[in-house]
Chain A
Amino acid sequence: MESLSAPPPIRRLDPQDPPPAREVGPGATTNGNGGAAPARGGFTAAKRRVAAPRFSIRRMEVDEVSIHYGAKAAVKGVSLPIRQGEVLALIGPSGCGKTTLLRSLNRLTELTAAARLSGSIRLDDVDIRLIEPTLLRRRVTMVFQQPNPFPMSVFDNIAYVLREQGSRRTKKKALAPRVHSALQRAGLFEEVKDNLSHPALKLSGGQQQRLCIARALAAEPEVLLLDEPCSALDPQSTAVIEDLIVKLRDDVAVVIVTHNLQQAYRIADHVAFMYLGDLVEYNSATRLFNAPAEERTREYVSGAFG
């Protein structure tokens, strides 16, 4: 996901290669290149797009949450705060439970019959198990890995969210201001304002994903969950969406799952590194990438495993 002046991608080491021996700390180059140090590389070279958060309000509280699929534990005793004003990134190798944790935040895991959750997740101090799922999912909305607009017009995609369940009674005219504002918040309005009646699936991939973000924002949520929202997109669309995510953090608490460490470094304020269901480290992005407290974090962010 390299933008124009982007650093080289993170490279995986061959298993035979010795682990990077260099000291990791502020100013060190951790490019995961096994020693051959180029002039620039690693996270110090990756540009942080984000200024420090101006404020942060605790919206959700994940408290000792474990999630089991049958006998298999996907998430083991994770505790984290989720704050408005900040972007929280969940990183970790495939199968580490980060997506499961994300999906449990709006009870989407319940759609998988075998999933069991223990511990508690609170939204504004109310346990989410006490909130009716359809209401919860309007307060905690989600954007998925694959752009998935509904097979209807751009306008109707947003209008569907605004209308009561399956009803179509609310007139288009009455919905238009709210549809436009959702599209504006997702930075899509200027591009589609003349084509609101066009099929949404004919938009480009990046536009489709921003439409999905607009859709998620139309419900006026307190928390926005993003499950690898850029992994199916080209670098330019990714850059647009990353900028958008950073802009959104003042209005909604943003949680993003990403495989792209550079992306996490660019946009996140806090980062949680998960490994095999455990929360290994929760720290500010700068510290987690440049001076990780845990050995496993250091190995992962320097590309030693994953």
Chain B
Amino acid sequence: MEPSVATPPPGRPPAAPPRGKAPTGAVEGSATWSVLDRLGLAFCWALGLLFCAIAVAIVVYLFLQGVKFLKLDQLTTPAATGFSETQTGGFSDALVGTLIVATMGIALALPTGIAIAVWLVEYGRPAALARVTELTIEAIAGIPSIVLALFGTVIFSSTALGFLSRSNEGVVFGRSFFAAAAMLSLVALPLVVASTRQGLESIPRHVREASYAVGKTKAATVRRILLPTARPQVATGMILGLGRIIGDTAIILVLLGATQNFAPVEGAVFPFDYLRGAGTTLTNFVYEASPTGNLNQPQKAYAAAFVLLLMVLGLNAAADLVHRRARKAGTWSH
């Protein structure tokens, strides 16, 4: 390929490319900038490097601590009461608990979120209802999860919803995997909606019209053209949502009971005995095992945090894979 060289001003012969090194083309240098601009540039660089350093420090530190303190049997043994670190077991219940709330939460949030986004972008009539829906989603996104948790206790302690948690002689406990997952899905919902909307909105209008113009209905177009095209953004929304769900502590503390172990409801059919009962997750375990918590075993807290970090990194890698696949399929030229 020919190197791109800026056209020299008339009357001057083109500068010969420096020998030895292949010319890389004309690049604007900051040497000609004013002092203020150069200070600004330096500030940007400094901030950028700072944030990179912070991120790297967290990951590296957790990685080192994790490798040091994580033992494989911690992943398979539940927590137990005991007087020394060796007696108190691992955090298998918390790990499984995290997987359960993540699965249940996203199973609720993903279809709902996609449906809301499709309705907002492709239908959106009447406009007033669309606006209200939009505002509601924004409001949910803005509510702190501890407030959602409190609200959840009100709902799930009602007698009508007693079948979703432990209830004893008409008194509904209101804390269960069902209750926690339902509220956690609200935490993930705005992210799924926003990301899916962005994906749908980035599809040019003429692509939809091309589908209508061969006699396809809106529903067929959404199902076969628009949603498959928006798949990477849907995946991003799902990953972000999952990240928020597995990272949430407030809702777990208030709505899952935050016990050390699973507390299945006796007499109920599997898996409902577990899902109706209280439990714990990794975030809750990290909190309990940290110096502020009841357990106060920081080494186990690091081990659990490391597992949490691995899960999030894994999710990001998965999202990246979906994006890369989509890039391979190509996109419209503008």
Interface residues on A, range: 35 or more
Does chain A have a CB within 8 A of B103?
A: no
- Cβ of A146 and Cβ of B209 under 8 Å apart? no
- Taken residue by residue from 227 to 246, chain B's Cβ proximity to chain A (1 for < 8 Å, 0 otherwise) reads as 01100000000000000000
Q: For the complex, count residues of B whose C-beta is within 8 A of A.
A: 26
CB-nearest residue of chain A relative to B209? Answer: A108
How far, in Å, is A11 (CB) from chain B's closest CB?
A: 26
Q: Which of B34-42, B218-226, B288-296 contacts A (4 or more CB under 8 A)?
A: B218-226
CB-nearest residue of chain B relative to A216? Answer: B214
- Cβ of A108 and Cβ of B220 under 8 Å apart? no
Task: State the CA gap A106–B207 with chains docked (Å).
Answer: 16
- Cβ of B209 and Cβ of A165 under 8 Å apart? no
- B225 contacts across to A, CB distance below 8 A: 150-151, 160
Main secondary structure on chain B at its contact with chain A? helix
- Cβ of B329 and Cβ of A148 under 8 Å apart? no
Q: Which of A133, A134, A144, A148 has the most C-beta atoms of chain B within 10 angstroms of its own C-beta?
A: A148
How far, in Å, is B93 (CB) from chain A's closest CB?
A: 43
- Cβ of A148 and Cβ of B213 under 8 Å apart? no
Using A151-B228, A151-B229, A165-B220 as known contacts, say yes or no to A215 and B333 having CB atoms under 8 A apart.
no
- Taken residue by residue from 102 to 121, chain B's Cβ proximity to chain A (1 for < 8 Å, 0 otherwise) reads as 00000000000000000000
How far, in Å, is A266 (CB) from chain B's closest CB?
A: 25
- Cβ of A138 and Cβ of B206 under 8 Å apart? no
- B229 contacts across to A, CB distance below 8 A: 150-151
Q: Which of A24-32, A199-207, A270-278, A285-293 contacts B (4 or more CB under 8 A)?
A: A199-207
CB-nearest residue of chain A relative to B334? Answer: A146
Does chain A have a CB within 8 A of B13?
A: no
Does chain B have a CB within 8 A of A100?
A: no
Using A137-B212, A137-B214, A161-B214 as known contacts, say yes or no to A152 and B228 having CB atoms under 8 A apart.
yes
- Cβ of B215 and Cβ of A135 under 8 Å apart? yes
Residues of A that sit less than 8 Å from B by CB: 106, 108, 111, 133-138, 141-142, 144-148, 150-152, 160-161, 165-166, 168, 199-202, 205, 212, 215-216, 218-219, 225, 232
Residues of B that sit less than 8 Å from A by CB: 204, 206-207, 209-217, 219-220, 223-225, 228-229, 328-334
Q: Can you add 6 more A-B contacts, CB < 8 Å, to A136-B215, A150-B224? A: A146-B206, A148-B210, A148-B332, A151-B329, A166-B217, A166-B220
